Amino acid sequence: MSRKTENSLPSVTDSAAFFIDFDGTLVEIAPRPHLVEVGPEVLDLLRGLSARLNGAVAILTGRPLATVDGFLSPLTLPAGAEHGAVRRDAEGMVHRDFEADAMTKVGEALQVLADEHGELELERKESSVALHYRQKPELGEIAREAVYKAIEGKPDFHVMDGKMVLEVKVEGLDKGLALEAFMSETPFAGRVPIMIGDDVTDEYAFAAANKAGGISIKIGEGETIAQYRTDRAGFMNWAKAFADAGR
């Protein structure tokens, strides 16, 4: 997976399209999912980028659409939510490409474990489930066993080992496909995609941005196929400078 990763961020032009991950990129990681804080500087940055790029700014996140909208209110941006399974295009149309009850049984099985261990937190989304063990990392192995057991014999499901979380999502839907779908539509089409993210789920979108001749930026540590690496503050400053230059 490794390729040469540089530390100084590249210059960007008005022909860019920004794809930005939420947790760990736009906001700092928090002890629990509902505890993240969205500062005014985040909303200001998104407004500035969107204005400069004629709306070619999308959020690519593992969160449900309604959750990310709540955090970014009053903004309602184009978004690939639930790791790309639920996508709202620039016109506000929402695309879902999975069976509505696909994850019900997996969620039920993991809920039993979460009820047994109060420190485990289960997020049940439309198309995926996330079992968090950040409150008690020692429960990680028990969580992992339960997750793999819950998807046994279900080749349509895929497990992602995220930041203190195991997520089961529908196989074949990912942030990379969401990025590609955006790039085929106005106002993204014809632009240079720039993907910024911090976690394993972002690697799919880094691959899509790289393939399209774009730019990929990894936030923080960890193996990556991204071309550049920085920390959250480095990204925020770099993106703000670009957005401010267009005001």
Ligand X SMILES: O=P(O)(O)OC[C@H]1O[C@H](O[C@H]2O[C@H](CO)[C@@H](O)[C@H](O)[C@H]2O)[C@H](O)[C@@H](O)[C@@H]1O
Q: CB nearest ligand X: which residue?
A: 62
Counting contacts by CB under 6 A, is residue 36 touching ligand X?
yes
Point out which span in 46-54, 161-169, 179-187, 238-246 binds ligand X (CB under 6 A).
Answer: 161-169
Q: What's the token pair of residue 41?
A: 């500087």
Contact (Cβ atoms closer than 8 angstroms) between residue 186 and residue 17 = no
> Among residues 52, 87, 134, 229, which is the contact residue for ligand X, using CB under 6 A?
134
Query: Least distance from C-beta 231 to ligand X, angstroms?
Result: 15
What is the CB neighbour count within 10 angstroms for residue 206? Answer: 27
> What is the separation of C-alpha 131 from the centre of its chain, rounded to a whole number of angstroms?
16
Annotated catalytic residue, options 14, 21, 89, 101: 21
Counting contacts by CB under 6 A, is residue 165 touching ligand X?
yes
Contact (Cβ atoms closer than 8 angstroms) between residue 215 and residue 227 = yes
Q: What's the token pair of residue 197?
A: 């993210």
Which runs of E-coded beta strand occur in 171-243?
A: 192-197, 215-219, 228-230
Q: What's the token pair of residue 57?
A: 């700014």
Whichever of 53 and 166 has its CB closer to ligand X, that residue is: 166
Counting contacts by CB under 6 A, is residue 132 touching ligand X?
yes
Whichever of 198 and 228 has its CB closer to ligand X, that residue is: 198
Whichever of 160 and 183 has its CB closer to ligand X, that residue is: 160
Active-site residues, by number, are 21
